[in-house]
Chains A and B, each alone.
Chain A
Amino acid sequence: MRYADVNEDIVRSIVETGPKYYIALATAGGITLLCFFFPWFYQLYYGIGASGMHHPQVWGTYLAGFIFWIGLSHSGTLLSCVLLLTNSTWRKAMYRSAEAMTLFSLMVATTLVAVHLGRPWFIHWTLPYPNQMEMWPNFRSPLLFDVMAIGTYLTGSSVFIYMGSIPDFAAVRDRTAGWRNTMYTLLSLGWRGTDREWHRLHWAYTFLAVLIIPLAVSVHSIVSWDFAMSIVPALHQTIFAPYFVVGAIYSGTAGIVTVMFVLRKYMNFEQYITKVHFDNLGKLLLVLSLIWTYINAIELFTGWYSGTSTEHEALNYKLFGYYAWLYWEMILFCAVAPLLCIFRRFRTSLVPMLILSIAINIGMYTERFLIVGTSLSRKYLPDAWTVYVPSVVELSIILGSFALFTTLFLVFVKIFPSVSMYEVKETMDVPGTEPTAQPEGSSA
């Protein structure tokens, strides 16, 4: 394979669009409109009463969805940044799409916050801007830490993905004409591919990668503190910060497996996304699953060990109460099923990995729902204990959020090169040398 083949393949995936893509885009867009936006507009008109929430379960599937999508956003960070610092070569084909997943997950999560609010037209009051009311937001609030953290993460991720794509935009610019050429000329910011430019890009990219890793860890810790800083029995635990971060990376990695399968199949990337990638992602999933199981066991143990009646009641309810079937489904999908990744044959077979990754994400969404739903059911005063069942509007919006993500991602693959051309070329043999020679890295 020549270097030029890489460019041609990826540029072709952007420029050539078949009817299947348009059908997929129309379907995703239609479902988004129907299942996400129309129910949301109904809820804006009618009030939060359109959902199934009631006293005391005032937090429901919207917030669970919000946390789930923030969790999925950790996919890009892990793949792109952490694996960059560990010098893994197998990340190079996938990280661009993973970073895009991060960005769009964050956007969907922010939209779900707006859906969750009682008066979302005032959401700008959470931002610290000088106003005539002389009111700042309440900086002591964990929800405000959220706003700051997610805002920073969104900004950082956007800059990160854009900056890393500049050489690829230039490659597409050099191979297209017409309106595409104009667009990519603007996007590539006059990239010429000189030595100095490559050096600076590499430095800036590594710098941002090092910055984004603690950012990602802190973002999900901060999101967990929405819960952990409360006094609700099942939520007020110090394990929440690591629990959420591990859960996020876990669900993000599973998300990457799903997206990689789809990309490989529908964009003809068989040469770039290979079984080696699935093998390595499978190993990661196994490790993360084991850590996640451990953390769950610790949560149960410390809750039991505390001896407080409220804690016992909350845990009992979680395991054996109304939602018990959801809890055990979560354990099956997230703790038991990924043990299949011990076997190399499983890890390298693509469709089973796809099914496993979807199962893991279903389990992870269930986990978020259980955190929100069961803990609020069993607070301190037994008179207030109730059961929460999500309404049709809520379920539709959650389903629609997946469609929204898919729509954004489908638009992404036609604008951004979804496989990083220059990094893939780094893994190839330099043409004209023996196959056993070390490939010379083109950028430091």
Chain B
Amino acid sequence: MWRGRRRFPIIRLMRCSGTGSTGTAPRLRFDRGTLLLDGVQVRDLFTPDLWTWDGRVGAWRCDAIHYAAVCDALAERLGAAWRDEVPEPPPVHWPKVDLPHLRPEQEEALAAWRDAGCRGQVIMPTGTGKTEVALAVMTQTGAATLVVAPIRDLMYQWHRRILKGLGYDAGIVGDTLYNLQPVTVTTYDSAYIHMDRIGARFRLVVFDEEHHLPGECRREAALMCTAPMRLGLTATPERSDGRHVDLDHLVGPVAYEMPLARARGRTLANYDVVRVPVALTPQEQATYDACSRQIRHFITDRRRERPRYSWKDLCAESGADPAARRAQKAYYLKKSIEDRAAEKLRVLEDLFRLHAGQLTIVFAGSNMMAMEVSRRFLVPTILSHTPKRERLAVLDGFAEGRLPVLVANRVLDEGVDVPEAKVAVVIGGQASTRQAKQRLGRILRRTGTARAVLYEVVCEDTKDVQRSRSRRRSDAYARTRHRRL
């Protein structure tokens, strides 16, 4: 092991507490997510665009993300003749390290990140152990660490993994809790809100599912933090808005990337994708068709006067026109009929019969549908409002095989550990490549030689079918079979 071999650069913080108080010595401070520098002409020291003069407080200001670079530049040019008043995060001692040996590709990822200067992104498919890479980084740096996860389920999961692997009871900021510790887990939304207060408390920040970071607001979590070491983890860095290129600045360039094809059949199980079409009941179909007619008539009617009348216009006018609002409602009713088609419950019963004795996850398109499945088959749900204690009990019961089925909404889309599930059924949800990959990743964890199956239950002749097509564009769905039950 290379612990103790100083492979991680140490940011040496120049502190001249012993040099006496020279009131005019350059001074660096942390101020609510930014750095303030006074007592110095920055034009002589820095490229001019890094700092901005802030007349409101009479000091130079820049984003906290530049902390490491600023320290280096000040140390190089001024030696010890400046004061660093940014609080120094304490080193962390791990009470009880109990981590599995890293697999070769995890070792590769770790080394690549280290060689990149302890700053950068690690891209690995779901189920290949990104969390273990992050835990290894934490043990080997001994750095005060902030872990940022997309949702509170994942936040709690990180808390458990850190407790189990490092014996450390991490603080939690989020889900109405605010318990800040040298090692803390949080969510992107909480990080955005609280970073101006906690941004100087960490030397390492881990962005789990980092594709959530570049959003217009959330990126500020990275900008307002002083941590010099940054690790971004994801299976799918791409964003439809193209903003993933900003991760180079917010986290660091890609340090390691492992393609999905390499993971398939090795760490992950082989899998099949089976599409099951269902028909609406005559009653549902009648309502569905009536809604379609209503919308069509409304739009045809409008196009007589305005040939370019579109759905967007309809939404814009719904506030001032009850007919437009009724058409809008008809559209939502159609979506809800697709989502909650009664036939889906019947197909689900068939699939449960077919896979009796195998752990099965059902992904619903809405909370309502998830609860409907739960009440019909008396199986537990994991939804965004599920209390923490129940969440744990359900996940444990599922992992131990006591509870055969788990119904989830989009909550479990990303990253939450669901051990040993071999069957997944998607009965609704949005069309998106990333969601498809993540969903597959959930059921593909290696368990012996059994093949995993993903069923996709879609209504015939509705929007559901289109969404399914769009899902299959992702290479993860390359071998879809069709089956009518």
Task: Specify whether A and B are partners.
Answer: no
Q: A: which residues have CB within 8 A of B?
A: none
Q: B: which residues have CB within 8 A of A?
A: none
